[in-house]
Chain A
Amino acid sequence: MCLAVPVKVLAINGVEASVELGGVVRSASLMLVPDTKVGDYILLHAGFAIQKLDEEEAGETIRLLNELAKEA
């Protein structure tokens, strides 16, 4: 379990955010990640943000994977 996708926070109105993935805009509740800011990436599941994406960690993993890609 389960289906969750990383989306970008475009705007915040109270506890609700407008989020975007690939040009698609949807709303998401920030009840579970209340310190979210505009511009953050959050993980969207069933209409809720369930965690903030750690861009530094993501960058690290991507860098590692790119290194591997060069070896191929």
Chain B
Amino acid sequence: MPEARIILGHGSGGKLSHELIESLFLPLFLNPILQTGDDSAVFPLRDSGKFPGGQRADEQRIAFTTDSYVVKPLFWPGGDIGKLAVCGTVNDLAMVGATPLYLSAAFVIGEGLPISTLRRIVTSMKRAAREAGVKIVTGDTKVVEKGSADGLFINTAGVGLLAGGVNISGSNARPGDMVIISGTVGDHGIAVLSAREGLTFRNNFKSDVAPLNHLVAAMLKTSHKIHVLRDPTRGGLATTLNEIARQSGVGIRIIEEKIPVREEVVAVCEILGYDPLHVANEGKVVACVAPEDAEKLIAVMRGSPYGSEATIIGEVLAEPKTRVMLKTRVGGTRIIDMLAGEMLPRIC
């Protein structure tokens, strides 16, 4: 029997679309808000129990974010586009200190995608959402001609609530802050690359895609002196640190020996000529925190599943403003810049 595939009709809004929603999306993203089936999801601002110390509704700040996911291939060691679509948006909310609550999910599907593949991806989204504690409450499906969408594109938007007094921003880094990373860098980019380039690993190497909101919540409970939180996604740690340095008008110095990198990431970078500092991460957080709270934050992070290798990698300085410096293993210093263009394999 031929494999069932997505056809243009599934995106046209008629019977086939409804069948797809009812047989695939609804059962997996099961929740009362979604099941209402209206044009928009409707929900109260406060989700009971999430905000002790009651704020008035008119003081409540909302965090709102969106991202589109166009990664190819759709599956790689440790993840897939669906898991990424949920975690990426959850993490963007977490990075401003918000508690993520609700997500939308819009799918642009290339004609011909096997429905079993779609089901696998949506199941992965359901699992990720459950782990993060968020609900997917509204969505959309479109189907485009073969070749237009590389198989599948997903957009997710997310809404979260901020507790009073939380003020975390890339522009808040202060000279003297310690720079902390929650774990090893470059895992995600290398995992995706390996799926593309046919690299294999001897051990269980995989992408770090993960929802970080619980880790961040634990950090926020421990310290009120967290000035910056950022997840170093595309462009890697180097790009993120440069963004912070620019936004805050400070300098940052990190120490090569302190940056945690897995052996497999170093190896692939050596072979293909990449810099681990420019490789994407999808399950890591960089934090700039007041020095007096650094140690206790590290302790709390290390007790969390996604922070077990948390470490201090450097500090924020007053000068040179907007520059990120690296102290190398042999004692030299160099500047680290943002990633310019894309990474391509080199021979030189």
Contacts and interface: CB of A to CB of B under 8 A. Distances in A.
Complex A-B, nearest 7 residue pairs according to Cβ-Cβ distance, in ascending order: A22-B267, A22-B263, A21-B267, A24-B267, A23-B264, A25-B200, A5-B270
A23 B263 CA distance: 7
Interface string A27-57: 0000000000000000011100000000000
A3 B264 contact: no
Given A5-B270, A44-B271, A25 B348 contact: no
B90 to A, nearest CB: 30
A60 B264 CA distance: 27
Interface stretch (B20-28, B120-128, B201-209, B307-315): B201-209
Interface residues of A, number: 15
Given A1-B348, A45-B347, A22 B273 contact: no
Chain A residues touching B, majority SS: strand
B348 A23 contact: no
Contact of B268 (A3, A24, A45): A24
Given A23-B263, A26-B271, A44-B271, A3 B347 contact: yes
Nearest to A26: B199
A58 to B, nearest CB: 17
A24 B201 contact: yes
B346 interface: yes
B266 interface: yes
A16 interface: no
B188 to A, nearest CB: 16
A63 to B, nearest CB: 19
Nearest to A18: B200
A22 B264 contact: yes
A23 B346 CA distance: 21
Contact of B201 (A1, A5, A25, A46): A25
Contacts of B202: 20, 23-25
B271 A5 contact: yes
